[in-house]
């Protein structure tokens, strides 16, 4: 089975808590002797997972990004399929709440979107297989553990997937700067998928055409757009406000 790296305390702790069977080996930066290190090493010992204290230079060479002094080698996670997601939606005891990211290629933005999706109660994040960021170690680190809690689904044909979930009764709400309706005029209370486009270009034409409603975020200042992860957070929390009743 392929090996990948997870780094950053939140990301490693999330694997330790939720998928400990994936852990193969952990490296911790020398000089740290705090309570957090003690808790993790004790848990690793209990699982029989090898861990080593190393110089920061070795961690820098092993991964690219701010590792915060901890890196873990883990077995590759099972990737969710479109069929897995549809089966979950059909068996769920509450209305679907999905996030669709069309063309978000920056792993930092993807990780931030996953983190907010987890906090807002999103059941899955969906992206196209092409022209989209994947769950790189950087995305996992920025997600602060959400990559291990929120199903991440890459679909071959996004337009076809949107048609499929529409047939399942999911209402598609897309964001577009030129939309007439505002975020606060949208109804997020039922089965819904929020569709966010790439920063700058927005949603692709076919994605836009499949949306049931287009909305925009009101802007009162001088800038005319928000970073996609910030915009996603604004929209998801309006949706959560409505869904909480």
Per the annotation, binding residues for S-adenosyl-L-methionine are 197, 217, 226
Whole-angstrom distance, CA of residue 139 vs CA of residue 79: 15
Known binding-site residue numbers = 197, 217, 226
Whole-angstrom distance, CA of residue 166 vs CA of residue 146: 26
Whole-angstrom distance, CA of residue 65 vs CA of residue 67: 6
Whole-angstrom distance, CA of residue 211 vs CA of residue 53: 51
For the beta sheet containing 3-7, the strands, ordered from the edge strand earlier in sequence to the opposite edge, are: 3-7, 70-75, 23-29, 50-54
Which residues 6+ apart lie within 8 Å of 21 measured at CB?
75
Structure tokens at 143: 């997600």
Whole-angstrom distance, CA of residue 93 vs CA of residue 95: 7
> β-strand 70-75 against 23-29: which pairing, if any?
antiparallel
Whole-angstrom distance, CA of residue 128 vs CA of residue 113: 15
């Amino acid at each position: 089975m392929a090996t990948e790296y997870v780094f950053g305390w939140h990301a490693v702790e999330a694997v330790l808590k939720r998928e400990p069977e994936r852990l193969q080996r952990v490296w911790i930066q020398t000089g740290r002797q705090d309570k957090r290190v003690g808790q993790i090493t004790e848990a690793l010992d209990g699982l029989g997972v090898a861990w080593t204290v190393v110089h920061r230079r070795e961690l820098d060479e092993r991964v690219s990004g701010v590792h915060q002094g901890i890196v873990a080698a883990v077995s590759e996670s099972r990737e969710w399929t479109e069929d897995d997601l549809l089966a979950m939606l059909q068996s769920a005891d509450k209305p679907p709440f999905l996030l669709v990211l069309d063309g978000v290629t920056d792993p930092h933005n993807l990780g931030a979107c996953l983190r907010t999706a987890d906090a807002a109660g999103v059941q899955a994040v969906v992206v196209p297989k092409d022209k989209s960021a994947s769950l790189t170690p950087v995305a996992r680190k920025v997600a602060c553990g959400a990559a291990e809690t929120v199903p991440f689904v890459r679909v071959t044909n996004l337009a076809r997937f949107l048609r499929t979930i529409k047939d399942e009764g999911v209402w598609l709400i897309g964001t577009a700067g030129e939309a007439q309706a505002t975020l606060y005029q949208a109804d997020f209370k039922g089965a819904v998928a929020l569709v966010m486009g790439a920063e700058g270009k927005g949603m692709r034409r076919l994605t836009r055409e499949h949306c049931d409603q287009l909305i925009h975020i009101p802007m009162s200042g001088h800038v005319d757009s928000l970073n996609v992860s910030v915009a996603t957070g604004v929209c998801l929390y309006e949706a959560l406000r409505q869904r909480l009743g």
